Amino acid sequence: MAKTKTVFFCTECGNESPKWQGKCPACGAWNTIVEHAEKAGPVKQIRRESIGASKTAQKITDISHNHEIRFTTGMAELDRVLGGGAVAGSLVLVGGAPGIGKSTLLLQICNSLCSNKKVLYVSGEESEKQLKLRAERLGVLPDSLYILSEICLSDITDTIGDVNPDILIVDSIQTIYNENNDSSPGSVSQVKDCTMSLMQISKNQGITVFVVGHINKDGAIAGPKVLEHMADCVLYFEGDNNTPYRLLRAAKNRFGSTNEIGVFEMADRGLVEVPNPSQLLLEGRPEGASGTCVACVMEGTRPVLAEVQALVSKTSFQVPRRTSDGFDYNRAVLLMAVAEKRAGMKLSAFDAYINVIGGLSLDEPGADLPVILAVASSYRDKPVHCKLAAIGEVGLTGEIRSVTHLNQRIAEVARLGFDYCIIPKNNSEKLDLPDGLTIYPVRNLMEAIEVAL
């Protein structure tokens, strides 16, 4: 019998250590180290099986190039985040807070997947009857969809053998347990074991596996790195419970970019794709109010427009208060210092609150200028023209620096009915100017404020 070895894992960063400690030596988190009993011995064998290749090294030129085979999931927004469709034989981890819509999304894609593939949906959370009710409500009743309500890993693998599906969906990894492992379902040890087994099944039999993972209170999938390094693709489903909009983003993708976002709306009959997010993000924008400016950022290959709001008011504290939602706090503080020094705004005597509407995070340099214009607009209490958008990175000397994909951005700005756009002067050559859009190339912050206000 194989000997068991006890190791300890950090649930935050996945760091492995031989003894328990109060503080993780790798990431510095407290009380995150948990015990994991690992079977010593068959590791080598498992690795070999999982790779499924011969033991001798081959010349790269001799290896027949099997192109990755992609197929569509029937949801263009999901395909986009996966890098142009799901890759056959890959393992995709879908993480998100409870109730965000993970089960709904995966059940919905079954409709299109089943048109030419066999799908096995394993749920450890709902009974077959509950799943049937949900599927009926979503209108997902294809012939080649098999449902199994089970939490024991060996029973699941038996069923996989019987059904022989092309696609396996496991909802959720935290409910599945391996009976050879003593720890309780949902523990790092179980989650790691079960994901490893599913990965082996996926690689050996060429089954595409979608695994649902719940996120813990800190926003990480339980045992995050332990799972992330095994999966080919890690997607996070985000959204605010108060709004029906959901964003799907890739945190890791072996077969594509991780910059893309997918946008969905939770409706009465499940998730509906939102192919035009800019329109949605700009909905209900106040007109003629000071302290708002429209930004255009690249989310992967797609330009997205979003509204930035700022409120600047006289402070009653020694140190002014600043908050930033949807934009990096330190960057916001830095931009305000630039505005103070280079544009003469006495912001040190004012509190400033910045907010990006619609739950989007603007983590791209092109959003600097609209943020600072929103602040300037609130500071001077003068509105930015409601048909004006701004694009540009702001440097420490107050210069406006060039951004990537400007043609795509201004095309989107024009498509959404804007009349004016402030852009960096350095970028203004070789532009395909869309009809009806007037551009204002600017060199520095002063010029930009002059144009906007």
* Residues 6+ positions from 110 with CB-CB distance below 8 Å: 119, 121, 135, 140, 142, 145, 169
List 270, 358, 365, 424, residue binding ligand TYD (CB under 6 A): 270
- Contact set for ligand TYD, span 115-134 (CB under 6 A): 134
Both tokens assigned to 104: 């709904």
DSSP type of residue 317: S
Specify the residue, 251 or 451, whose C-beta has the smaller distance to ligand TYD.
Answer: 251
Which of ligand TYD, Mg ion, none lies near 101, with the C-beta cut-off 5 to 8 A by kind?
A: ligand TYD
AA identity, residue 374: A
- Contact set for ligand TYD, span 62-91 (CB under 6 A): none
Which of Mg ion, ligand TYD, none lies near 287, with the C-beta cut-off 5 to 8 A by kind?
A: none
Specify the residue, 238 or 307, whose C-beta has the smaller distance to ligand TYD.
Answer: 238
- Contact set for ligand TYD, span 137-176 (CB under 6 A): 137-138
Task: Report how far residue 97's alpha carbon sits from residue 85's, in angstroms, rounded to the nearest whole number.
Answer: 24
Q: 3-class SS at 29?
A: coil
List 119, 266, 345, 371, residue binding ligand TYD (CB under 6 A): 266
Which of ligand TYD, Mg ion, none lies near 365, with the C-beta cut-off 5 to 8 A by kind?
A: none
Q: What are phi and psi of 328, to 5 degrees?
A: -55, 125
List 96, 213, 256, 365, residue binding ligand TYD (CB under 6 A): 96
Q: What is the DSSP string of 371-401?
A: HHHHHHHHHHT-PPPTTEEE--EE-TTSBEE
Question: Around Cβ 176, how many Cβ atoms within 10 Å?
Answer: 25
DSSP type of residue 425: G
Specify the residue, 274 or 335, whose C-beta has the smaller distance to ligand TYD.
Answer: 274
Which of ligand TYD, Mg ion, none lies near 432, with the C-beta cut-off 5 to 8 A by kind?
A: none
Specify the residue, 138 or 334, whose C-beta has the smaller distance to ligand TYD.
Answer: 138
The residue ranges that bind Mg ion (CB under 5 A) are: 103
Specify the residue, 104 or 178, whose C-beta has the smaller distance to Mg ion.
Answer: 104
Task: Report how far residue 97's alpha carbon sits from residue 90's, in angstroms, rounded to the nearest whole number.
Answer: 23
AA identity, residue 353: Y
Determine, following the binding rule CB under 6 A, whether residue 98 of this chain makes contact with ligand TYD.
yes
Task: Report how far residue 82's alpha carbon sits from residue 92's, in angstroms, rounded to the nearest whole number.
Answer: 9
Contacting positions for ligand TYD (CB under 6 A): 96, 98-104, 134, 137-138, 266, 268-270
